[in-house]
Structure 1
Amino acid sequence: MRPRQDPNPIEGTTMAALPGPAAVHTHPDHVQVADGYTATLIVTGYPAEVGPAWLEPLLSWPGRLDVVLYVDPLSAPAAAARLRRQRARLESHRLDDAGRGRVSDPLTDAAADDAAELAERVARGESTLFRVGLYLCVTAASPTELRDAVTHVRATAASVLLDTQPATWRHLQGWQSGLPLATDRLHTRRVMDTDALAAAFPLAGADLPAPLPGRPGPAGGILYGLNRASHGVVWWDRWSQDNANGVVLARSGSGKSYFVKLDILRELSDGVHVAVIDPENEYLRLADAVGGATIVLGTGGVRLNPLDIPAGDRRDQARTRRALFLHTLVAVLLGEQPPPAERAALDRAVLTAYDTAGITTDPDTWQRPAPLLRDVTAALTDQDGPAGQMLAARLTPWTHGSFRELFDGPTSTVPAGQLVCWSTRALADELRAAGMLLALDAIWREIDNPAADPPRRLVVVDEAWTLMRDGDGARFLARLAKQARKRRAGLLVCSQDVLDVLGSDLGQIVIANAATQVLLRQAPQAIDLITDAFALSTGEARALLTARRGEALLLSGTHRVGFQIVAAPAEHRLCTGELDLDD
């Protein structure tokens, strides 16, 4: 007869036995649990004074380290009796030294004074004593890695003046003490008061703050990477900050464009509309892969008329805004603000050109074809006085000369799509800043359209130093940074020329209005300016000087976290231009 088998072998088994390992092998310096090796360190010595979050270096240690803290309160009578014995022992030492004619021990004197002060606080109910046990459980994949990890953890503990001792022949009890069973098998305790114990709690860490208990987690956001200190996930939502603006600063070759492309891909997946100013054709293949629109300024047939009034805009000042923008464009073309007489002549010429085209202050006339830049110069030439004729002559290269292609006709391309990439690489250097300004103006006209429930929009300006070198272009960018938040938009400024961005007052305005700031590796020549502008600590500045490709520092208010950029294989190939989305 075969023995009867239990149909449910788990029934009757205690819960403590179910999740346990099949076997635990004990050794003098560690225990082997399944495929892992664990060693326990007992904290036996503490510094005389500690600051807030003094356990943070251990909590942020880059590896598998469990920091175990056992706390048992002492009753008031037991605490008072313990303090009386401690004070009596210290005072007897002091009296013995005095009776033998010895010089008093300063350590004994300090300990006696501290004990007396603590006794007074306990007697007044201002503090409570606790019996505290602090253990560090280190886990690694092999005995060799475990020994190296234990050495590193002991050095980290020593850096905050903590003395540690291995639990030799007691590592099994140490491993059991580290389990979430609230059972201390080592029983190595130290008496602490309320202040010291409160400072030991992990109130600060390398990770971004999590939602408070009972609060819902963030509904949006994208993955930035992995925390370099804790290996946690850095998940960031620029749209839940004070504003959606951002800035990315890095030296060449540090991974800036890769990070920005990854940011664009993930924002697109979140339903955000993105427009990119691309001076080096780095984003064209990405736009083609995801079905976006590309506009290559400087090629034949691509024109932008700066005097166009946005379609559907019925606001009273629409024509006046276009006239003011033309003042900004002319200043960028000439490289300086014209003299007051020429500016006055330009203003009269713009109004004359609009009136000649039949466009008045009546919104019903704004659908008519807008005048061109050459019409404005013709109106300048017809004016009496030398100012208009001088300005018309200065604008000749852009109306009838070598640079007229971009303005010589009505707007030929109307951008549309969730991702629009404006390339300015084909433009001559003399037109590069003007082309970026025209592209930004076209983007802004779409953002500023008073439509109901507009989508979230992100404007990415790569190599922003091209505009920052020009005062009027920088002013336009600063206005965009200030006004984008009110229109459900954000401005992301990227540059590898840190000195041009931070070396001007307008660049500082753009930085100050960016709630999300990402810094990658920096050059030694710029690190002092970066440190002052972003209030970096010495450690943060050193980390930026030695950061490898793809390592970055995220700053936002009081939040500071270093992270390693991570991407899925398909994302990586899209960002490097090796794969189309259909592949």
Structure 2
Amino acid sequence: MNSNAGAFTPDSLSVAPRHLEIGGEWVASFAITGYPREVHPGWLQPLLAYPGRVDVSLHVEPIDPVTAANRLKRQLSKLESGRRHTSEKGRLLDPMVEAATEDAYDLSARVARGEGKLFRLGLYLTVHAGSEEDLAEQVAAVRSLAASLLMNAQPTTYRTLQGWVSTLPLALDLIGMRRTFDTSALAAAFPFTSPDLPPADPASVAAPAGVLYGFNVGSQGLVHWDRFAADNYNSVLLGRSGAGKSYLVKLEALRSLYRGIEVTIIDPEDEYRRLCEAIGGTYLHLGEAGVRINPFDLPIAVRPDGRRTAPKDALTRRALFLHTVIDVLTGTELAAEQRAALDRAIISTYQQAGITSDPRTWNRPAPLLADLAAVLTEDTDPVGVDLGARLRPFVDGAFAQLFSGPTTTTPEGHLTVFSLRDLPDELRPIGTLLTLDTVWRRVSNPALCRPRLITVDEAWLIMQDPAGARFLHRLAKSGRKYWAGLTISTQDVGDVLGTELGKAIVANAATQILLRQAPQAIDEIVATFNLSDGEKQFLISADKGQGLLSAGTQRVAFQALASPRENALITTDPAELATSTEPNPVDGHVDLDTAA
């Protein structure tokens, strides 16, 4: 006998008719004697996800085709004989016998065509508890769970030791209570599915990486997910109004900051100001007096060592971008002669500011939109003069506040929030364009390479603008090259899934989160994400904060979970804010280490 076997031998073993005492533990075993007529993939998952300790053991024995055919033939003969006898006596047919006969014929045909094989299956359960009273409660709960799955769990009375051994990883079936299964039913019975996301390294004992989203609705375990370990770093979050989208987005952003990930948020509804100011982020409130973004700024970045760098074609790229800016400001696509006049004016405007193709001149202050309008107005070409006149409302008219001076705030730091709520409707397209351009310049600069998340809340507002939709599509496809992930959050599913660009953005998101959905939109969600009937019903009836996280082939239902400190920073519930005892975040910053 192996001398190491003693390490696996219990200190004591007491055998009773219906339970065992193994050391300080009480166990009871059961054999499944009744099964549902039809099963679906993962039908044993509720047993595997039971919150207590339950061992589930499957013993599978293949039946050779000749024996299987003979047994099926005898079984069909018995069933047909019984049906004829019942018919001859003038009795009503037994529905159970009719169903069994149909199943036998179907199984016999599949076996004859080689589409499946037969197996003998033994399914046994062992319930563990710390005391006899606890064991009785656990046994009742497990038997009720089995009954809800249309399975009959019978205790291994007076064979408790054999039942326990049959559930150990010894490949010994000492009970021998088997049931015939075909290939498809056996495949569905294999316990290779789990409601939990698989860990990145099952052999590692380290804490799970990524962001804690909440707890698993099915197993009560914790749901961790690292977007930067997926094929791409993009995420799409869809849910109806009031389902908890912004709450979850803020929670993910806050916990990403804990990990040292830089976060940029485009906020159309001004929901992130409190969080931004509480943790010392950079807040740009476009539309507020004195807040400006100069579209003529060259994409110059400051390296950690203090050196200023820019792409070799920075001036050319900026000139091309200014064509798009003027298109948005004028509300029309410029004609060829207008573009020619504009191109001459842009080059002349930069030259008047002392900026040429020589990179040494790029550190000089950039010109303003008013300078471009002046150059166009003085142009000898009437086309340029007309274009300069069309820019006047944005230079010295009602809409000049966004362009009336140099850029006021440099979007730098661990968290940057661009608030677009107070932009006038006439300035919202250009404000969105300038915001997206600022974000992209920072993301695509190789001198600032670091993990980033760019969050666009209520993305349907930006998707309505063609320039905004194109930017999101570009970032979704190219962000991974720059170590950046895009987060799209929206309540208007139709505006995202109803366009080709929106579908492309969803298709390029390795992480997809679905919160509660309206019945009117659920069919489109089901078709797009290939949801099952159970997942469809879950999304229709989900509580606030509950959702379905899809990562590749893995899906998990979860409930968002935040600490009281995090909840105080991210909630927008008026009732909670009215009774909050948290200090005003404007009065002082919050230490991220203590906020965790």
Per the alignment, residue 537 of structure 2 pairs with 542
Per the alignment, residue 440 of structure 2 pairs with 444
SS in 2 for 1:430: coil
In 1, Cα distance between equivalents of 2:490 and 2:405: 32
Per the alignment, residue 153 of structure 1 pairs with 146
Q: Among 550, 554, 576, which residue is 1:555 paired with?
A: 550
In 1, Cα distance between equivalents of 2:335 and 2:550: 42
Per the alignment, residue 574 of structure 2 pairs with none
Q: CA deviation at 1:531?
A: 2.8
Q: TM-score, normalised by structure 2?
A: 0.78
Q: 1:307 to 1:192 in 2, by over 3 A?
A: same
The gaps in structure 2 that reach 5 residues or longer are 1-5, 90-96, 301-307, 572-576, 584-589
Contact 2:34/2:153, CA 8 A, preserved across alignment: no
Q: Among 192, 213, 217, which residue is 1:224 paired with?
A: 213
Per the alignment, residue 8 of structure 1 pairs with none
- Name the amino acid aligned to 1:365: T
Q: Among 413, 420, 423, which residue is 1:417 paired with?
A: 413
SS in 2 for 1:326: helix
Q: Among 448, 454, 468, which residue is 2:449 paired with?
A: 454
Q: Among 227, 240, 250, which residue is 1:261 paired with?
A: 250
Q: 1:530 to 1:323 in 2, by over 3 A?
A: farther
Q: Among 65, 68, 75, which residue is 2:56 paired with?
A: 68
Q: CA deviation at 1:317?
A: 1.9
In 1, Cα distance between equivalents of 2:400 and 2:548: 44
In 2, Cα distance between equivalents of 1:82 and 1:530: 44
Q: Among 464, 467, 474, which residue is 2:469 paired with?
A: 474
- Pairwise mapping of residues 512-531 of structure 1 onto structure 2 (< 5 A)? 512-531=507-526
Contact 2:453/2:486, CA 8 A, preserved across alignment: yes
Per the alignment, residue 9 of structure 1 pairs with none
SS in 2 for 1:402: coil
Q: CA deviation at 1:316?
A: 3.1
SS in 1 for 2:446: coil
In 2, Cα distance between equivalents of 1:113 and 1:507: 45
Per the alignment, residue 270 of structure 2 pairs with 281
Q: CA deviation at 1:564?
A: 1.1
Q: Among 495, 505, 510, which residue is 1:510 paired with?
A: 505
Q: Among 177, 192, 198, which residue is 1:188 paired with?
A: 177
Q: CA deviation at 1:238?
A: 0.8
Q: CA RMSD in A?
A: 4.3
Contact 1:59/1:205, CA 8 A, preserved across alignment: yes
SS in 2 for 1:132: strand
Q: 1:88 to 1:32 in 2, by over 3 A?
A: same
Q: 1:45 to 1:445 in 2, by over 3 A?
A: same
In 1, Cα distance between equivalents of 2:355 and 2:87: 105
In 2, Cα distance between equivalents of 1:313 and 1:574: 36
SS in 2 for 1:522: coil
- Name the amino acid aligned to 1:133: G
Q: 1:97 to 1:551 in 2, by over 3 A?
A: closer
Per the alignment, residue 332 of structure 1 pairs with 328
- Pairwise mapping of residues 425-440 of structure 1 onto structure 2 (< 5 A)? 425-440=421-436
Q: 1:544 to 1:40 in 2, by over 3 A?
A: same
Q: CA deviation at 1:119?
A: 11
Q: CA deviation at 1:81?
A: 8.0
State yes or no: 1:202 paired with 2:191. Answer: yes
In 1, Cα distance between equivalents of 2:15 and 2:382: 96
Q: Among 161, 166, 171, which residue is 2:154 paired with?
A: 166
Q: TM-score, normalised by structure 1?
A: 0.80
Once the two structures are overlaid, the 10-residue window that deviates more, 403-412 or 414-423, is 414-423
Q: CA deviation at 1:88?
A: 6.5
Per the alignment, residue 323 of structure 1 pairs with 319
Q: 1:57 to 1:477 in 2, by over 3 A?
A: same
- Name the amino acid aligned to 2:500: D
State yes or no: 1:532 paired with 2:527. Answer: yes
Q: 1:309 to 1:216 in 2, by over 3 A?
A: farther
Contact 2:199/2:208, CA 8 A, preserved across alignment: no
Q: Deviations over 1:280-311 (max 9, x none)?
A: 33222222232222222223322211111122
- Name the amino acid aligned to 1:347: D
Once the two structures are overlaid, the 10-residue window that deviates more, 39-48 or 229-238, is 39-48
SS in 1 for 2:469: helix
Q: CA deviation at 1:80?
A: 7.8
Contact 2:127/2:135, CA 8 A, preserved across alignment: no
- Name the amino acid aligned to 2:411: P
Q: CA deviation at 1:471?
A: 1.0
Q: CA deviation at 1:18?
A: 4.3
Per the alignment, residue 260 of structure 2 pairs with 271
- Name the amino acid aligned to 2:247: Y
- Name the amino acid aligned to 2:413: G
Q: CA deviation at 1:559?
A: 2.4
- Pairwise mapping of residues 76-91 of structure 1 onto structure 2 (< 5 A)? none
SS in 2 for 1:43: strand
Q: 1:216 to 1:329 in 2, by over 3 A?
A: farther
Q: 1:193 to 1:114 in 2, by over 3 A?
A: closer
Contact 2:549/2:557, CA 8 A, preserved across alignment: yes
